[in-house]
Amino acid sequence: MSTIQQVAKAAGVSVATVSRVINHSDKVVDETRERVERAIQELNYSPNMMGRNLRRNATEIIMVLLPSISNPFYSQTVNGITAVARSNGFTVMVCNTLSDRKLEQDFLNLLKFKLVDGAILMSQEMDDSELEELGRLYPVVQCSEYIDAAGVPYVTIDNASAAYEAVSHLASLGHTRIGMISSKVNYYSAAQRQAGYLQALQDAGLEFESELIKFGDYGYGSGMKCAEQFMRMQNKPTAVFAISDPMAIGALKAFRQKGLKIPDDIAVVGFDNIRFSKMCEPELTTIAQPTYKMGCRTMELLLERLEHKQDLPEKVIMDYELIIRGSTVAGS
């Protein structure tokens, strides 16, 4: 690896001139510029970012923290983030926290240590006060999953209202006993979706009991387990609302394995509209979030932060959509 000094020597100029050529400063006469460019070619030189960044105090890299790339919900969002980031000269790297607090810390240290310029959080293991401090000290924006109290900007949908709509849909189909598959971990979005579920039951005049909510981990397997719990109940639900598509799909699978007909014996609604939700049998009714756009908007907020344009914590609420398919209405 060659350095700017070697290039300068080879071209017979000073390092300053080489730097000017690299950075397209106009104060270099053509003949010199050519000589430098030839030297760069010959030495196969590329500037060491460490040196540059140390001086500039910026890396033009942003990171996206998410619990697991295995959840297909995230990929579209990341694509949106990447699109906006790229057109502004930023590089995006994805960090898999595995919902591990320590690992999350390690990644966030890259922010503190100035190895990345900013971060987008799509989930966080830290508590409110830690997040609040993080947001105060560094450019950070939340997307989809969020904590409201912390004064950190976020982009999300109205989870309560989305859940309300999903459950009301089930109620309007005549279901009177509606179960829910929520999350073991107490995410804010999960709490909001539970609130929406409860409100919908209440507004439809349906009764609730705590047995109607089971708790999973957003994955297929836990959806199957929850479905089995439902089937062991004496007074079984005839419809289930799950807060993730994989759990809904797992539940579908378990119900069908026990010989139940979907949607006649039991209807299922999911959340996120992952690609698989159209591939399962029957296709899954679900809530679609505008994932790509949410990613774009989030990156825009982060850019504002990075440029200090905006110091108020912005809160962006985007529209969702209930997509009705065969898991609740036959033949859709």
The footprint of its own copies (CB under 8 A) covers 1, 46-51, 53-54, 57, 59, 61, 63, 68-70, 72, 74-76, 78-79, 82, 86, 91-96, 98, 103, 106-107, 109-110, 112-115, 219-220, 246, 249-250, 252-253, 256, 275-276, 278-281
- Cβ closest to DNA, residue 114 vs residue 275: 114
30, containing H or E segment = helix 30-43
Minimum Å gap between C-beta 133 and DNA is 19
Residue 72: how many CB atoms within 10 A of its CB?
Answer: 15
CB of 68 to DNA, least distance (A): 32
Amino acid 224 reads: M
**Cα–Cα distance for residue pair 104/149, rounded to 1 Å:** 20
Q: Residue from 3, 88, 99, 199 that binds DNA (CB under 7 A)?
A: 3
Contacted by 101, from its own copies, DNA, none: CB < 5 to 8 Å by type: none
Please tell me the distance from the alpha carbon of residue 244 to that of residue 163, in angstroms, as a whole number: 11
Do residues 80 and 42 lie in contact, with contact meaning Cβ atoms separated by under 8 Å?
Answer: no
**What's the min distance (Å) between Cβ of 3 and DNA?**
3
Q: Tell me: does residue 9 bind DNA (CB under 7 A).
A: no
- Judged by DSSP in three states, 311 sits in coil
Q: What is the dihedral of CA 321, 265, 221, 98, to 10 degrees?
A: 20
> How many residues of this chain interact with DNA, rule: CB under 7 A?
32
80 vs 196, which CB is nearer to its own copies?
80
Tokens of 192: 């909001």
With b meaning 16 or more CB within 10 Å and e meaning fewer, what string describes 279-294?
Answer: ebebbbbbbbbbbbeb
137 near DNA, rule: CB under 7 A: no
Cβ proximity of 320 and 162 under 8 Å: yes
Residues 28-47 that bind DNA (CB under 7 A): 28-29, 31-33, 45-47
Stretch that binds DNA, among 17-25, 139-147, 154-162, 214-222 (CB under 7 A): 17-25
Of the candidate residues 9, 37, 43, 52, the single one contacting DNA (CB under 7 A): 52
**Hey, what amino acid is at 254?**
A
Alpha-carbon torsion (328, 219, 251, 241), positive or negative: negative
Identify the three-state secondary structure at position 261.
Answer: coil
- Choose among its own copies, DNA, none what residue 23 binds, the Cβ cut-off being 5 to 8 Å by kind: DNA
Among 9, 10, 22, 233, binds DNA (CB under 7 A): 22
Pairing of β 285-288 and β 321-323: antiparallel
Nearer to its own copies, 108 or 167 (CB): 108
Which residue in 38, 41, 42, 56 binds DNA (CB under 7 A)? 56
Q: Catalog residues that contact DNA under the rule CB under 7 A.
A: 1, 3-5, 12-17, 19-20, 22-23, 26-29, 31-33, 45-48, 50-52, 54-57
